[in-house]
Amino acid sequence: MMGLMQDRPLLISGLLDYAERYHGDAEIVSRTCEGTVLRGNYRMLADRARRMAQALQRLGVKAGDRVATLAWNTHRHMELYFAVSGLGAVLHTVNPRLFQDQIAYIVDHGGCNVLLFDISFADLVAGLRPRLPQVTTFVAMTDADHMPASVEGALCYDALVAAEDGRFAWPQFDERSASSLCYTSGTTGNPKGVLYTHRSTVLHSFVVCQADGLQLSSKDSTLLVVPLFHVNAWGVPYASAMCGAKLVLPGPAPDPKTLFDLAVAEGCTFSLGVPTVWLGWFKYLDETAGLDLAALKLNRVVIGGSAAPRYVIERFQKQGVFVIHAWGMSETSPLATVGNLLPRHAGLSPTEQVDVQVKQGRAIFGVELRIVDDQGNELPHDGTVAGDLQVRGPWVTAGYFRSEGGAVVGPDGWFSTGDVAKVFPDGFLQLTDRSKDVIKSGGEWISSIDLENAAMAHPAVQEAAVIGVAHPKWQERPLLLVVRKPGTDPRPEDILAALAERVAKWWLPDEVVFVEELPHTATGKLQKVKLREQFRNHVLPGA
Ligand code: ADP
């Protein structure tokens, strides 16, 4: 027998309607590409999003069409989040930090006719234009006074908004309709398009606002460091509308000083970003005299995208900020596991709490996970055995946009993440590697992430990467690459001695090489493919 409750669709426009009606005055502060700081709120966002939806319709955008953006975290980009999806079209957020070839590939593969861009990317767009044959309409996300000359025929965003009256009712449609499209950052091959739905987005928002999720609420002022072009800024734009949280958008290329100043000025309580952001943040704090740390109101910081270094968790802990270590990927919207402490952790010492926080947290309701061996047999959650991590759930992808590769999930819905992990009996997940990065030494696996974390615990190590290098006897052995903290001069043996206290002897890297910097992807991940190429012919001592 079917139940008798209403089957109202979960739509992104519903989030905006709600925010306008119940949190209309909650602020949205935007550092703009024109160099100003604009103070708006959800009422203004809703009005301008409706006008933009009217303008897009007038430009010929229809339900299902992809609309591309190359833009920072600003109020205009937020407006597009709601205008495009609210209309039933698909917001295709392109990462401007990618290589030009990848940007051209992604925009073209997405099949977009309209591209909206920040003025900081005008030259990039002008250069790419000949390679974007499908794009017929270019819109500069700025006002009439700042229109870039380099993109000929581009329309002005603010003029489009001003020409409409905002009298627009959001259409109602199937909640399973596509809402946005993000391409994976391509650390493991060509970028692939993940196509979210209104339903997956709204369900994911509930998790962001959940007390055992990211705890977002109307009490928060969020410093949105994670870019709107990186997995929908981890779902925070939608979740903020759901709960009326204040949003602080740091605009073009925010550096640690900009972030710090905004956090203080706007009383930010909550922030999110990849580890490299926070490494830069603490470097700035250490190198800058006279900062008023007491003026910071942060109480939670979400770290994901790569393993949160212990050092960063500890530094935040000392300032009274709780690090929520989360794991996920473009394919999981991205939240899949969240590292909140449980009641039984309350009595732990600060160090013991960090021991829990360095793990990637536990699955949230809605995401099922398991680990399997090479034959697909399920492995125990005993905290010892590592296996390939698989997930399934209503905000996990069922396939890639326009992919030639066929099904990416098994018949029972499990999606193979490409990550290798252990699961502890209490459900905490510990990522040990990506399957392509794991070091296979004499038939056993060595976790590059564990070694990197152990190396980063050394006070002279700014950043560390571990890769496997070919070895005649062991097949592969670990090589540790280290960026030293400015003003320090550790010897390789000092670092190895510190590692020896934390990992098994046979895990110890065969060599430590100091480098000036490590290559990162556009989303801040270590580019191990590049490192492996660079050190392909490296001969380890004794090999
Ligand atoms: P891509 O898969 O193209 O690199 P994503 O941004 O979707 O792009 O990255 C997802 C991957 O990032 C995960 O599969 C995992 O390897 C890594 N990752 C995400 N969060 C964490 C974390 N907390 N700890 C370690 N690795 C993480």
CB 143 within 8 A of CB 168: no
Q: What is the pLDDT of residues 240-280, one digit of tens each?
A: 999 999 999 999 999 999 999 999 999 999 999 998 899 89
Q: 32, 93, 142, 184: which is the annotated catalytic residue?
A: 184
**Mean pLDDT for the chain overall:** 95
The answer to whether 476 is a known catalytic residue is: no
Structural domains in the chain? 12-28+40-200+231-243 (3.40.50.12780), 437-543 (3.30.300.30)
Q: Whose CA is nearest to atom 26 of ligand 1?
A: 306
Q: Is the pLDDT of residue 523 over 90?
A: no
Q: 331, 452, 463, 511: which is the annotated catalytic residue?
A: 331
Angle, in degrees to the nearest 10, between helices 275-287 and 256-265: 80
CB 498 within 8 A of CB 531: no
Burial of 253 (0-12, 13-18, 19+ CB in 10 A): exposed
Average pLDDT score over residue span 194-215: 98
Ligand 1 binding residues, C-beta < 6 A: 184-187, 231, 304-307, 325-330, 360, 417-419, 431, 434, 523, 525
The answer to whether 283 is a known catalytic residue is: no
C-alpha of residue 417 to centroid of ligand 1, in Å: 9
Q: What is the pLDDT of residues 28-72, one digit of tens each?
A: 999 999 999 999 999 999 999 999 999 999 999 999 999 999 999
Q: 136, 378, 440, 506: which is the annotated catalytic residue?
A: 440
* pLDDT score recorded for residue 406: 64
Residue 407 φ then ψ, to 5° = -65, 140
CB 115 within 8 A of CB 107: yes
Average pLDDT score over residue span 379-385: 97
Least confident of 1-5, 129-133, 181-185: 181-185
The answer to whether 445 is a known catalytic residue is: yes
Q: Which two tokens stand for residue 156?
A: 């002005």
Q: Is the pLDDT of residue 385 over 60?
A: yes
Q: 27, 445, 485, 530: which is the annotated catalytic residue?
A: 445
Cα distances (angstroms) measured from residue 184 to each of 23, 131, 390, 511:
33, 21, 17, 32
Residue 164 φ then ψ, to 5° = -105, 165
* pLDDT score recorded for residue 317: 98
Q: Which residue has the higher pLDDT, 432 or 18?
A: 18
Average pLDDT score over residue span 494-515: 92
Tell me whether the omega of the peptide bond preceding residue 334 falls within 30 degrees of 0, making it cis.
yes
Residues 244 and 250: their CA atoms lie apart, in Å, by 18
Average pLDDT score over residue span 415-430: 96
Residues 68 and 181: their CA atoms lie apart, in Å, by 9
C-alpha of residue 247 to centroid of ligand 1, in Å: 25
Q: How many CA atoms lie within 13 A of 116 on its CB side?
A: 29
Residues 193 and 198: their CA atoms lie apart, in Å, by 16
Residues 429 and 421: their CA atoms lie apart, in Å, by 7
Question: What ligand 1 atom has the least distance to the C-alpha of 449?
Answer: 25
Residues contacting residue 371 through CB under 8 Å, at least 6 positions apart: 378, 379, 381, 385, 386, 387, 388, 389, 390, 421, 422, 423
Q: Is 31 helix (H, G, I), strand (E, B) or coil?
A: strand
Residues 48 and 139: their CA atoms lie apart, in Å, by 16
Instruction: Output b/e per residue, 513-525; b: 16+ Cβ within 10 A.
Output: eeeeebebbbbbb
Burial of 282 (0-12, 13-18, 19+ CB in 10 A): middle
The answer to whether 440 is a known catalytic residue is: yes
C-alpha of residue 397 to centroid of ligand 1, in Å: 15
Average pLDDT score over residue span 401-415: 85
